[in-house]
Amino acid sequence: STFVAGLEKLKKGEIEPYGVPLAGELPIDFKDIRIVGSYDVDRAKIGKKLSEVVSQYWCDVNSLSDDPVVSTGVHLGSVKNLPIEAEGLEDSMTLKEAIERLVDEWSKLDPDVIVNTCTTEAFKPFGNKEELLKAIENNDKERLTATQVYAYAATLYAKKRGGAAFVNVIPTYIANDPAFVELAKWNNLVVFGDDGATGATPFTADVLSHLAQRNRYVKDVAQFNIGGNMDFLALTDEGKNKSKEFTKSSIVKDILGYDAPHYIKPTGYLEPLGDKKFIAIHIEYTSFNGATDELMISGRINDSPALGGLLVDLVRLGKIALNRKEYGTVYPVNA
């Protein structure tokens, strides 16, 4: 809803593109982005016009230039224990049938780019496409997550259409799972991901890069995130929290070249914080002549707008990669 509301205001010239990193750098204009479909598993939203759902969160957006009806998606238990009455395609059909339904609907809507913003899931990567195909064939609703089902459906849609892009901004491995990357290459699908990384994590990455460039030795890193939105509530589930920890922690070794002791993961839910999460970062490092320095950073960051601005770029980059036939995953975008 934040992405949709912000995009509409950008199109109408009501706001400046702050928070859109490549605002004036791409050959595709904001006005070229059209929203052709929307999916949810909240029974209170399914069947409503997208504008009705967006207006629940953004009272200054009453009408949309693109206003599709919200369709039924797939949840596979991803919203369990959340205050949502869930409804998914898999409740009334097999996963194979649900995937066929999605591909059929997408073929009519004809999107270039499919964006996945599911709630964080507990997941297990497949590693090879044979295991993935077997799980779908066996209707294994315990093994598969909603994101994995959407990503597989996207490969079939791309093959049928002759090309598409899939943007995954949650921690479930798609761009990091060889099974999906291989299928993507074979079926003319571009894959971006995984995880939006919009708050403390990119800031930590920037600071670690700064220290690495100056040849300072990082002794330890601690990063905390506490928020009050639905995703932080979902992260009170240990399995989902672990999923988020995977994608957050991988930055340390990637940037430094060694795996400094670190604690980087969402650490709590506090409802009054709402969408404006609290972040805290502590980094201890060794400088010249054995001196030990410390950095302590704290902040409050609006979670959804931070991701929404990136989506404006990712959708356009997805279309550019598609035009260039860069199928599979595109590391410079993911990084």
Q: How confident is the model at residue 81 (pLDDT cuts 50, 70, 90)?
A: confident
Of the given ranges (132-136, 302-306, 311-315), which has the lowest mean pLDDT?
A: 302-306
Which SS3 state, helix, strand or coil, does residue 282 take?
strand
Q: How many CB atoms lie within 10 A of CB 22?
A: 14
CA atoms 197, 266, 294, 290: torsion sign: negative
Burial class (CB in 10 A: 0-12, 13-18, 19+), 75: buried
- Rounded average pLDDT over 66-93: 93
- Rounded average pLDDT over 78-99: 93
The token pair at 38 is 């929307």
For Cα atoms 104, 127, 189, give the angle at the middle one, nearest 5 degrees: 35
Q: Which ranges of 72-124 would DSSP assign to H, the alpha helix?
A: 95-109
The whole-chain average pLDDT of the chain stands at 92
Give the pairing of strands 276-286 and 217-227: antiparallel
Residue with tokens 């598969």: 144
How many Cα neighbours within 13 Å face the side chain of 96? 9
Q: With 90 as the cut, is the pLDDT of residue 180 above it?
A: yes
- pLDDT tens across 34-61, in order? 999 999 999 999 999 999 999 999 988 8
C-alpha torsion 180→112→326→329, nearest 10: -30
pLDDT at 265: 78
All structural domains of the chain with their residue ranges: 1-196+305-333, 200-302
User: d(Cα 280, Cα 298) in Å, to the nearest integer?
Assistant: 4
The token pair at 115 is 């964006």
82 DSSP assignment:
S
DSSP string, 233-276: HHTTSHHHHHHHHHHHHHHHHHHHSS---EEEEEEEE-GGGTTE
Torsions phi, psi for 72 (to 5 deg): -80, 130
Q: Is the pTM of this model over 0.75?
A: yes
The token pair at 226 is 């506490």
- pLDDT tens across 207-247, in order? 999 999 999 999 999 998 899 988 888 877 766 555 555 55
DSSP string, 138-191: TT-TTT--HHHHHHHHHHHHHHHHT-EEEEE-SSS-STT-HHHHHHHHHTTEEE
The residue among 195, 227, 196, 205 whose CA lies nearest residue 283 is: 205
> What is the CATH architecture assignment of 1-196+305-333?
3-Layer(aba) Sandwich (3.40)
Q: With 60 as the cut, is the pLDDT of residue 320 above it?
A: yes
Residue of higher predicted confidence among 122 and 108: 108
Torsions phi, psi for 65 (to 5 deg): -70, -30
> What is the CATH architecture assignment of 200-302?
2-Layer Sandwich (3.30)
The token pair at 257 is 């070249």
Q: How confident is the model at residue 197 (pLDDT cuts 50, 70, 90)?
A: confident
